[in-house]
């Protein structure tokens, strides 16, 4: 029997997949991933099938494996970009998971919940920054609040502890995920270059100058595992960002340089609309550079791009609590963007 048995709920998502991969690289861990459908390619975990909207399905799946010691809840109900997310559905999925785990709780030590900086209302408008984990909750419905309240209440009557992480925009080399800033930036730049355009920033002058931050997926996974296995991080939530900040006005000229094209100026526009007829342009880019043939909408999510670039307020979280707990790693966000862009280029998914 492995020293520790991990169950990653949502193991193919933006956070679940890096967590499962990071756990699989460690000795003494057996890693399971729970989701409705099996991964489409070789995975770093043993898949068990369950429908999170069906409590009995969850119970059967969890009782089919050895007792779990650490659970990582990274699942999320379907949502519309920028809209109010499904509170009832997200809470029900977590409740079904907790009920299933309670049937095999003799070895359970810790449950980690993935949240995000929407906890602070970053999607609604200006909010106090740098945001701290104990800042007052905003008044709008937010499923993170209901999930954390449920998790902490269950832990109060159990032998296991809980924690939560709040990353910013998660960046990764993840070709299967279009809701990802790196291919958004790369595909937008490539299309502008193909059209002999300068690289304009698709937002306002205010949005060009505010502070922003990112969360590297691999770094986030390491932080989550640290939080979930150290007593200094029990029963608390943690901001988990790269630890630095930037302004698009500093990054945009570098992006233009990486694509060897002139840098433009802020020009507010909705990329979801602008990209509606750019499929043939992308096809020309693919043919010119010998890229893997994929429809443009599977490469980059332009609704997500609009969500990112419409912000005219600072996005900045205080990571002091994470540092005081003992996790002191950090990531250079600009270097991360460039390195991940190069991975997409090496894989033949974005042009040089």
- pLDDT tens profile 54-97: 999 999 999 999 999 999 999 998 877 766 788 999 999 999 99
- Average pLDDT score, the chain: 95
Q: 163 has which bridge partners? A: 112, 236
Output the pLDDT for position 1.
59
The first and second tokens of residue 314, run together, are 């600072």
Q: Within 13 A of 288's CA, how many CA atoms are on the CB side?
A: 13
Residues 6 or more apart from 60 whose CB is under 8 A from it? 50
| Backbone φ, ψ for residue 247 (5° rounding) | -115, 140
57 in Cβ contact with 71 (< 8 Å): no
- The rounded distance, in Å, linking the Cα atoms of 84 and 270 is 20
Sign of CA dihedral 312, 317, 318, 323: negative
The reply to whether 344 belongs to the active site is: no
Catalytic-role residue among 32, 127, 144, 344: 144
Domain positions in the chain are: 4-169+214-240, 172-213+245-315+331-346
DSSP 10-71: STTSTTHHHHHHHHHTSTTEEEEEEESS--SS--SSEEEE--TT-HHHHHHHHHTSSPPSEE
- pLDDT tens profile 154-213: 999 999 999 999 999 999 999 999 999 999 999 999 999 999 999 999 999 999 999 999
CB atoms within 10 A of CB 279: 11
Residues 6 or more apart from 15 whose CB is under 8 A from it? 74, 114, 167, 170, 217, 220, 221, 224
Coil, helix or strand at residue 303: helix
Where the chain has pLDDT below 70, the residues are 1, 82-83
Coil, helix or strand at residue 240: strand
Q: Taking the model in full, what pTM does it have? A: 0.96
Q: 166 has which bridge partners? A: 239
CB atoms within 10 A of CB 287: 10
Output the pLDDT for position 82.
64
- The rounded distance, in Å, linking the Cα atoms of 43 and 16 is 12
Output the pLDDT for position 153.
98
Domain 4-169+214-240 class in CATH: alpha beta
- The rounded distance, in Å, linking the Cα atoms of 11 and 305 is 24
| Backbone φ, ψ for residue 198 (5° rounding) | -75, 165
End-to-end CA distance of the chain: 48
- The rounded distance, in Å, linking the Cα atoms of 254 and 114 is 32
The number of residues making up the chain comes to: 352
The CA distances from residue 222 to 242, 315, 325, in Å, are 12, 22, 14
Supply the DSSP symbol for 266: E
- In the chain, pLDDT over 70 holds for what percent of residues? 99
Place of tokens 């007593």: 231
DSSP 177-213: -SS-HHHHHHHHHHHHHHTT--EEESS-HHHHHSEE-
């Amino acid at each position: 029997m492995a020293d520790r048995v991990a169950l990653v709920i949502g193991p193919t998502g933006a956070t679940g997949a890096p967590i499962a991969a990071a756990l699989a690289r460690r000795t003494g861990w057996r890693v399971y991933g729970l989701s409705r459908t099996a991964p489409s390619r070789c995975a770093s975990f043993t898949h068990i099938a369950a429908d999170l909207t069906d409590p009995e399905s969850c119970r059967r799946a969890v009782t089919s494996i050895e007792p779990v010691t650490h659970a990582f809840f990274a699942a999320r109900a379907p949502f519309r970009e920028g809209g109010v997310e499904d509170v009832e559905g997200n809470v029900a999925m977590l409740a079904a998971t907790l009920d299933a785990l309670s049937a095999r709780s003799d070895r359970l030590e810790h449950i980690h919940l993935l949240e995000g900086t929407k906890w602070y209302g970053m999607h609604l408008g200006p909010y106090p920054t740098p945001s701290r984990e104990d800042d007052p909750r905003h008044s709008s419905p937010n499923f993170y609040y209901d999930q954390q309240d449920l998790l902490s209440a269950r832990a109060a009557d159990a032998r296991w502890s809980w924690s939560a992480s709040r990353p910013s925009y998660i960046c990764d080399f993840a070709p299967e995920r279009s809701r990802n800033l790196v291919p958004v930036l790369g595909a937008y730049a490539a299309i502008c270059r193909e059209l002999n355009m300068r690289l304009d920033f698709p937002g306002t002058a205010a949005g060009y100058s505010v502070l922003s931050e990112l969360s590297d997926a691999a770094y986030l996974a390491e932080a989550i595992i640290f939080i979930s296995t150290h007593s200094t991080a029990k029963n608390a939530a943690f901001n988990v960002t790269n630890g630095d900040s930037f302004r698009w006005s500093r990054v945009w000229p570098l992006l233009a340089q990486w694509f060897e094209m002139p840098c433009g100026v802020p020009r507010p526009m909705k990329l979801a609309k602008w990209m509606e007829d750019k499929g043939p342009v992308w096809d020309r880019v693919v043919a010119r550079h010998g890229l893997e043939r994929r429809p443009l909408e599977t490469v980059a999510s332009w609704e997500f791009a609009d969500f990112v670039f419409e912000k005219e307020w600072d996005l900045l979280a205080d990571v002091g609590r994470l540092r005081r707990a003992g996790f002191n790693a950090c990531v250079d966000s600009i270097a991360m963007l460039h390195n991940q862009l190069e991975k997409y280029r090496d894989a033949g998914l974005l042009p040089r």
